[in-house]
Amino acid sequence: MGNRLSKIATRTGDKGTTGLGDGTRVDKDALRVHAMGDVDELNSHIGLLLCEPLPPDLREELISIQHDLFDMGGELCIPGFTMITVAQVARLDMLLEKYNADLPALKDFILPAGSRAAAQAHVCRTVCRRAERMIVSLGKIDQVNDTPRQYMNRLSDLLFVLSRVLNRFGGGSDVLWQKDRVRDLPDSQSS
């Protein structure tokens, strides 16, 4: 791998194409490239989340997820290739069960807010949902295995749950959406 990455500025993409893992060249705005980019962006946002104070177990689990996302990028860049497994999806199900166990039931919608770590987990969740949508769109026009889509679906749920866990870890709680909250300034303050 070292020799393969020894030259970063290849100039092969100057005409708006990029190479997939199987050697084929595609336009940089192809759905497959968008899906790979969204997964990469999610991985970067998880890296930013890892800069925050986190429970040690959660830190290690997020690092494992980063490795999974790198695998997913590899799978997406080689049509027909498989790297994401049912076992990886099952691990997310296990983490969902683990982190949901001590959370109070939700009776209201929550806002993507609270501690910095919780807010960053929400950013990760929204990027994950976008990546999932892109994988679904790609699957309508090209071959994509089921497990990447399933993985992203579970991961976005997990990131939502983790935002709640992280608010509690930071000494706070969920920030609830208030249906009847006054949203407009009184007329005397609007000018």
Per residue in 108-150, pLDDT tens? 899 888 999 999 999 999 999 999 999 999 999 999 999 999 9
Is 167 buried (19+), middle (13-18) or exposed (0-12) by CB count in 10 A?
A: buried
Q: Confidence class of residue 27 from pLDDT cuts 50, 70 and 90?
A: confident
What pLDDT does residue 1 have? 40
pLDDT higher for 174 or 91? Answer: 91
Query: What stretch of H or E contains 27?
Result: strand 25-27
> What is the pTM for the complete model shown?
0.86
